[in-house]
């Protein structure tokens, strides 16, 4: 139940953007828009759950932009019946979806990833924990350490 509401919000947001951009401006059928929206929602939501806590909102939004552009382009080139300027349609849709993802990621951070310690423990790439090592140098005199005076 914890993932139902965020998944539904993402699906509605994606469907609305695709319907406005692809349906109204480029004449794509609503069935094709729903298919594209389902595929894009599932792939992007899985990425949001597993990647966003590790890399942050900005990089996840850029990843969602790239994913949306590629998915819309691939599905559009195989499914959409009418010839449309697919590169332009995919780019405009991806920009609009990425703009919505900025706010959606904030919602996910506050509702799905509710415990701050859990979020910090999941961070694998930028842990902000540094360690320094110290050692002495050995001169290269046949493996003999330097003499102390």
> 37 with 45: CB under 8 angstroms?
no
- The pTM (predicted TM-score) of the whole model is 0.73
End-to-end CA distance of the chain: 72
pLDDT at residue 116, rounded to an integer: 46
pLDDT at residue 70, rounded to an integer: 96
**pLDDT tens digits for 41-84?**
999 999 998 888 888 889 999 999 999 999 999 999 998 877 88
Low-confidence stretches of the chain (pLDDT beneath 50): 116-117, 119
What lies within 8 Å, CB to CB, of 53 at 6+ separation is 113, 119, 122, 123
């Amino acid at each position: 139940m914890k993932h139902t509401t965020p998944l539904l919000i993402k699906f509605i947001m994606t469907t609305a953007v695709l319907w406005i951009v692809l349906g109204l401006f480029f004449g794509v059928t609503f069935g094709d828009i729903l298919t594209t929206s389902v595929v894009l929602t599932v792939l992007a939501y899985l990425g949001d759950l597993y990647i966003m806590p590790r890399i942050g909102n900005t990089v996840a939004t850029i990843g969602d932009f790239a994913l949306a552009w590629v998915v819309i382009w691939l599905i559009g080139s195989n499914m959409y019946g009418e010839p449309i300027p697919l590169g332009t349609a995919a780019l405009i849709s991806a920009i609009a979806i990425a703009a919505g993802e900025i706010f959606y990621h904030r919602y996910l951070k506050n509702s799905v990833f509710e415990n701050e310690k859990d979020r910090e423990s999941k961070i694998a790439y930028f842990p902000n924990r540094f360690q320094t090592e110290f050692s002495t140098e050995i001169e290269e005199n046949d493996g003999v350490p330097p003499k102390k005076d």
